[in-house]
Amino acid sequence: MYEEISKILKKENLTKDDLMFLLSADDKAVQLIFDKAAEVKTQYVGNYTYFRGLIELSNICSKNCLYCGIRSGNKNVQRYSATDEEALKAVKYALDRNWGSVVIQAGERQDPKFIDRLENLLKQISSISPEKTGVTLSLGEQNLEVYTRWLNAGATRYLIRIETSNEDLFYKIHPRDELHNFEKRIQALRDLRKAGYMTGTGVMIGLPFQTMEDLADDLLFMQEYDIDMCGMGPYIEHEDTPLYQYKDQLLPLEERYKLTLKMIALLRILMKDVNIASVTALQAVNPDGREEGIRYGANVIMPNITPVKYHESYNLYKGKPEIVPETDKYISQLEKQINESGDKVGYEERGDPIHFKNRKK
Ligand code: SAM
Ligand code: SF4
């Protein structure tokens, strides 16, 4: 296995078979992949980790994805919407610490009240932020006009996960109706690019019914759509969701975690200069999960700066880490670990994806 992996890693272009083989690397051989990803990261994006302050603005969602703890059908959730004041305070927290970017994430809503409110909030954020501050949105599917309004109001990046590139699997993890449509999800990526955003996507890893072939296809999908950013993480079951019934068919959580690290490393090798987030779901499995992701190719961490009183209600999956520790003391500790992993924190920089800049040239 060792020789075969070394041989594949020397190739210019990786095929689906190559990726499937690499995804099946055992614990010993996987180090070769991790070493290669670290080398590519150093060469193409440098040893920097960028902090993005994550604001979970609201858990009100019109959708009913079968895996998600805040799906509209879950009546055990206390719904909230943080106020503009609270959101701006969180933005200020990030700015005061010289983080170059914030991320606004929420359940999906397409009603005019929400769209107007977001536009207004983005304008307020722009008015208190230096020009170079990056604002990423993760607010689900909207139309081109809405994307453009939010871009003009100050957003620069948009992250929308396709969740899986396999259409059959997509309909096993979503209701089959107007609101949950595979083609529309992919169209969103095209519209975001057209509107002018730095565009990101991602998938969940270790979903029920998902195969190694699906994951290899996911990587090739991201390459084909020439994405600028990626946030992918392990699927973690939530007991108040329909998908929970398949919990006994899942890979052990530790395996889903390892597969996620492999996917991060392989995407770095495949797409070289994109931004890759080391997501909170990794931390939910292993307290040092986000730092591990950074060592194996990721270059973005999103410390959660949502007001603490809302944390419990933004429960996407079981065992979401207690986020209270994202205090100054905790952030210093995180920075220390990032430094130990060989990276510096990119303060006062937006840390835009080099891939996006290179495409513009
Ligand atoms: N509502 C927006 C959307 O769906 O694009 C943004 C917020 S949504 C909570 C962000 C991401 O959470 C989803 O794209 C999904 O991949 C992830 N997520 C939801 N439930 C999850 C679970 N049980 N395990 C892991 N990730 C999950
Ligand atoms: Fe809503 Fe996003 Fe959760 Fe789907 S994944 S139910 S759109 S918050």
CA of 233 to the centre of ligand 1 (A): 10
CA of 95 to the centre of ligand 1 (A): 26
- Taking only the tens place, the pLDDT of each residue in 285-315 is 998 898 999 999 999 999 999 998 999 899 9
Ligand (nearest to CA of 62): 2
Q: Is 160 in the pocket of ligand 1 (CB under 6 A)?
A: yes
Q: Is 70 in the pocket of ligand 2 (CB under 6 A)?
A: yes
Q: Is 138 in the pocket of ligand 1 (CB under 6 A)?
A: yes
Yes or no: say if 285 and 264 are a contact pair by the CB < 8 Å rule. Answer: no
Nearest CA to ligand 1 atom 11: 161
CA of 188 to the centre of ligand 1 (A): 16
CA of 283 to the centre of ligand 1 (A): 15
Q: Note the pLDDT of residue 9.
A: 96
Ligand (nearest to CA of 233): 1
Three-state DSSP at 328 gives helix
One-letter amino acid at 217 equals D
- Taking only the tens place, the pLDDT of each residue in 173-213 is 999 999 999 999 999 999 999 999 999 999 999 999 999 99
In this structure, what token pair is assigned to residue 262? 């492999």
End-to-end alpha carbon distance in the chain: 40
Q: Is 134 in the pocket of ligand 2 (CB under 6 A)?
A: no
Q: Note the pLDDT of residue 326.
A: 60
278 burial type by CB count under 10 A (0-12 exposed, 13-18 middle, 19+ buried): buried
Q: Note the pLDDT of residue 249.
A: 97
CA of 68 to the centre of ligand 1 (A): 6
Three-state DSSP at 56 gives strand
Using CA of residue 319, residue 325, residue 330, residue 333, what is the dihedral sign? negative
b vs e for 262-273, b when ≥16 Cβ sit within 10 Å of the residue's Cβ?
bbbbbbbbbbbb
Q: Note the pLDDT of residue 277.
A: 97
CA of 81 to the centre of ligand 1 (A): 17
Comparing CA positions, the residue from 189, 280, 287, 279 lying closest to residue 231 is 279
Please give the Cα distance from 207 to 88 (Å, whole number). Answer: 35
Comparing CA positions, the residue from 2, 40, 17 lying closest to residue 267 is 40
Q: Note the pLDDT of residue 92.
A: 95
Q: Note the pLDDT of residue 321.
A: 63
In this structure, what token pair is assigned to residue 324? 């209270």
Given a cut of 50, the residues of the chain with pLDDT beneath it are 324
Q: Note the pLDDT of residue 19.
A: 98
Best mutation site among 161, 302, 318 for ligand 1 pocket (most ligand atoms within 8 Å of CB): 161
Comparing CA positions, the residue from 74, 57, 40, 2 lying closest to residue 273 is 40
